[in-house]
Amino acid sequence: MTKIKTSIKSLLFELILAASIAYLFSLFAQDFWTWLAIILVLLLIWHHYMEWRLLKTLQPKNETIKPLTQFETLSPTLTYYNNQARREKMKSLRLLSRLNRNVQFLSEAIMVCGEKGDILWSNQHAQQLFDFYWHKKVEKNIFTIIFYPEFKTYFQKQHYKRPLVILTNNQRYIEITVNLYSAKTYLILARDVTQFISLLSIRQTFLTNLNHELRTPLTVLQGYIELLEFENANELQQKALHAIKEQTQRMTKLLQQLSLLVKIETADNKQHHPVNMSAIILSLQKNTALLKTEQQRIEFNIEPDLYVLGEETQLQSAVANLIYNAIKHSGEHSHIQISWKMNQATNQTTNKTTANTPHAIFSVTDNGIGIAPQHLPHLTERFYRVGPARSHTTGGSGLGLAIVKHALQQHNTRLNIESQENKGSCFWFVLGVVEQNKTQSPA
């Protein structure tokens, strides 16, 4: 706005000056309008020259201003900006050309199609993965290439929260993700996940076989240990029997946790139903009284009859592991607070599925010994332990928080961990709350 006012003032000043000079010259020869026209033409020539000098200064020495139209010859500024726009356009076109060439060789299959499935663009890997040939002059439809009914249903529902995995006729698993590219076009990404699914299957089979093969000898060992405990044994033998019994119990618990982890990983959201989360937490209150030490103080702050959509066994495992971990690892004189309450502040949630729905927060907070910062990112990894001394004292297996993590992932949420050494820890997560008749028994 200031620049416009300054330009108007300069124009008025130049017009007044030109009119004054024309009036002065008209007193001696010719009329006023002739002199005014001559002076205005001279002013235009002077402005044109000054404009050319300025653009010559701004323009690099190795570049010249080339007018492409007759109108551009009258204005060097217009020529300068038009040339600059052309250079930027050429840079963008070259960048798009390089990008197009690079996309052709990406490891993922990429296709762009219309709302009716007409393929508008495809890279080479997509053509190899689905065994077809595409050219921009030849019409191809996505449903004639990916002809499986589940894909057509997935494409038409227009809600793409999760990718679709299909089993092809040649026994390969293909993961397909559809994203809205523009108003009427869709971007389809696909990749071959056969090897990944095969590795998952091998791992689950191994864990299942391990659990099955070790359970029988452990049961036999436990039976013989119980028989030997009644025999007259000296102090050394009793110490050996106690160590064997302790290790077999630890191994049995480890197998149970591995079995539970496999079940959670292979579960799906189809098993979810309304669950009284408040009743699950309160059912664990009696057990905490048996596990805690005399110096520990445990406080429950549970809002009654809050229901969530989930799987009861998984939720109970997640809550129990968090509570029992706090009792075992927070320290002898700690104060543990267990809370399950509606969250009024919607901006505190980190769960996308509960951002626009009522939700509650479960938290286990203690003022115990805390956890060092370098351990926090690894706590939910399988068999990870903060330190050998703490693991030896508490007898943990390193699977508890891994079970919590995968159980919460099945409920579209995540575990949040906050901790400071010698100040305490807080483990919390968010779950969406559903309405349920209070008189109905919990599922």
| Bridging pattern class, strands 297-302 and 335-342 | parallel
Question: Binning pLDDT at 50, 70 and 90, where does residue 73 land?
Answer: low
Binned at pLDDT 50, 70 and 90, residue 143 comes out as very high
Mean pLDDT in residue range 245-269: 80
DSSP letter at 322? Answer: H
Rounded alpha-carbon distances, angstroms, from residue 79 to 52, 75, 76, 360, 384: 11, 6, 5, 64, 67
What is the CB neighbour count within 10 angstroms for residue 353?
A: 16
Residues with Cβ within 8 Å of 208's Cβ and at least 6 positions away in sequence, in order, are 259, 262
Residue carrying structure tokens 């290439």: 145
Angle made by CA atoms 212, 214, 217, in degrees to the nearest 5: 120
Query: What's the pLDDT tens digit per position in 306-356?
Result: 999 998 989 999 999 999 888 888 888 889 999 999 886 544 444 444 456
Grade residue 61 by pLDDT with cuts at 50, 70 and 90.
Answer: low
Average pLDDT, the chain: 80
How distant, in Å, are the alpha carbons of 40, 150, 301, 413, 433 from that of 305?
A: 87, 39, 13, 21, 10
CA distance 256 to 382: 14
β-strands 335-342, 359-366 pairing: antiparallel
Residues 6+ apart with CB under 8 A from 89: none
Say which residue the tokens 């969250």 belong to.
343
Angle at the Cα of 221 from the Cα atoms of 218 and 222, rounded to 5 degrees? 85
* pLDDT tens sequence across 228-241: 776 676 778 788 88
pLDDT at res. 352: 47
The pLDDT > 90 percentage for the chain reads: 18
Could you list the beta-strand ranges (E) of 115-183. Answer: 119-122, 164-167, 173-180
Cα gap 407→434, rounded to integer Å? 19
Q: Is the pTM of this model over 0.75?
A: no
Q: Which tokens hold the place of 374? A: 């370098």
Q: What is the mean pLDDT of residues 265-277?
A: 79
Portion of the chain with pLDDT greater than 70, in percent? 83
pLDDT at 339: 93
- Rounded to whole angstroms, the Cα distance separating 192 from 190 reads 7
Residue 279 identity: A
More confident residue, 410 or 95: 410
Q: Which long-range contacts (CB under 8 A, 24 or more apart) does 21-30 make?
A: none
Contact 231, 374 (CB under 8 A): no
DSSP assignment letter at 271: G
Other beta carbons within 10 angstroms of residue 154's beta carbon come to 20
Q: How big is the CA angle at 342 (ends 336 and 345), to the nearest 5 degrees? A: 105
Report the distance separating Cα 348 and Cα 211, nearest Å: 41
pLDDT in tens, 144-165: 999 999 998 888 887 777 888 9
Q: How far apart are CA 176 and CA 307, in angstroms?
A: 34
Instruction: State the CB neighbour count (10 A cutoff) for residue 373.
Output: 10
* pLDDT digit string, tens, across residues 180-219: 888 788 889 999 999 988 888 888 888 778 777 888 888 8
For 108, 111, 127, 128, 434, the CA distances from 105, given in Å and listed in that order, are 8, 13, 12, 11, 47
Q: Is 366 helix (H, G, I), strand (E, B) or coil?
A: strand
Residue 277, number of CB atoms within 10 A of its CB: 25
